[in-house]
Amino acid sequence: MLTLIQNASVYDPEPRGVLDVLVAGSKIAAVGENLGKDLGIRGELLSVIDADGGILMPGIVDVLTHPSGGGGEGGFGNRTAAVGFEEFRDAGITCPVGALGTDSVGRSLDVLFADVMALRDNGIDAHMLTGAYRVPPPTITGDVARDITLIEPVIGIGELAISDHRSSQATPDELRRIAADARLGGTLSGKRGVVLVHVGDAGSGLAPLRKALENSALPVRSFYPTHVNRRRELLNEAAGFARDGGFIDITVSTTPELLELGEVAARDALQEAIAAGAPAERISLSSDAGGSLPVFHDGELAGFSSASPRVLLELVLDVLAREAEFAPLVIAALTRNPAAAVGLANKGRIAVGADADIVVLNLDQPAPSHVLCKGRRLRGD
């Protein structure tokens, strides 16, 4: 089955102008001008989508999501709800990477695996991480390397917590050992085997990762720190980590109170990290969808709400509408860069041979007009 998307303003993620994109099966088969003319195929073999001048970009690769829900750090009543197929689809996220988080007691990797497979059954190309905040990490098979090697959707481990009162206060030796196990699993199975690291509020910042990497044979990109925009000082430290070859991840979900407490808004954080010397191609943006967000009343913690997967698309639409020159950087940070960070080489690009994960946007509509994942049409006629 062939699908031709015509008349789209293509960001691959660089802006390429108005082009057509031809999808064959699960892959992108051609990108160019007026592809329809030369095809010579009609009828039931070819379905045509008129993008009507809309923006066409790769499906979003969201490296930190909680499909089974998260939270629980304020008691059982603060557990957050699962994030389902429609929410990811309508947010343009075709490749969410699911993780546990703080709670690996009331939630399990078995349930996360089932939720990831349910997303796949519905057409979303979800992946997952083994482990959680804690050390030693919970696993499915009893071993990090075995999970990554033997279980196809498992592409790494995380979000493993450092510099946080809820973390296991892992030693550099423990972090090094986990990264080595993840890397071995990745090596055996052709995956990256990355360690996605939740960086908390504590002043130690990325120091535990630096210590774990010291005098080790591990490359700096073994660790992939997230939430690096929670303080400006941490953001600058993360820019240095990216300068040294690492990937860093900025969390887009936030609240006005968190921004008041010193968190740097994602759009500004991206610009500031680049200004501080981080190579743009090693910065990603993620939603933390399903994770808990603190709610304050009169300066007091009053409970938790839950992060929405929609924040990424809202950021893209806002940037496209108000500062289009910045849009390619944002789109790359949502697609090509995170795909490279976790080693999903076929994702995050509009290019011949890449997975046909495609989102078509119209600036005046809050949801994509079309979403395709591996060529399957999930949204739009």
Cβ 197 to Zn ion shortest distance, Å: 9
Nearer to Zn ion, 12 or 159 (CB): 159
Q: Out of 125, 288, 355, 357, pick the active-site residue.
A: 288
Q: Which residue is nearest to Zn ion (CB)?
A: 198
Cβ 286 to Zn ion shortest distance, Å: 10
Nearest to residue 282, comparing CAs of 293, 273, 291? 273
Task: Let me know if 201 is a catalytic residue.
Answer: no
Question: Side chain identity at 311, as an amino acid letter?
Answer: V
Cβ 198 to Zn ion shortest distance, Å: 3
Residue 145 neighbours by CB under 8 Å, 6+ apart: 181, 182, 184, 185, 188
Cβ 159 to Zn ion shortest distance, Å: 5
Cβ 99 to Zn ion shortest distance, Å: 8
Cα-only R_g, the chain: 20
Helix intervals (H) in the chain: 35-39, 85-90, 109-121, 144-150, 172-189, 207-213, 232-243, 256-260, 266-275, 311-322, 327-334, 336-342
Nearer to Zn ion, 162 or 270 (CB): 162
- Catalog residues that contact Zn ion under the rule CB under 5 A: 159, 198
Instruction: Tell me phi and psi for residue 58, to 5 degrees.
Output: -65, 150
Nearer to Zn ion, 253 or 369 (CB): 253
| Tokens of residue 199, six digits | 């960086």
Instruction: Tell me phi and psi for residue 219, to 5 degrees.
Output: -70, 155
Contact yes or no for 23/375 (Cβ under 8 A): yes
Nearer to Zn ion, 79 or 198 (CB): 198
Nearer to Zn ion, 70 or 92 (CB): 70
Residue whose pair of structure tokens reads 């996360």 in the numeric block: 112
Put residue 348 in one of left, alpha, beta given phi > 0 → left and psi -120 to 50 → alpha. left
Cβ 316 to Zn ion shortest distance, Å: 22
Q: Cα(61)–Cα(250) distance, rounded to whole angstroms?
A: 13
Active site amino acids? 288
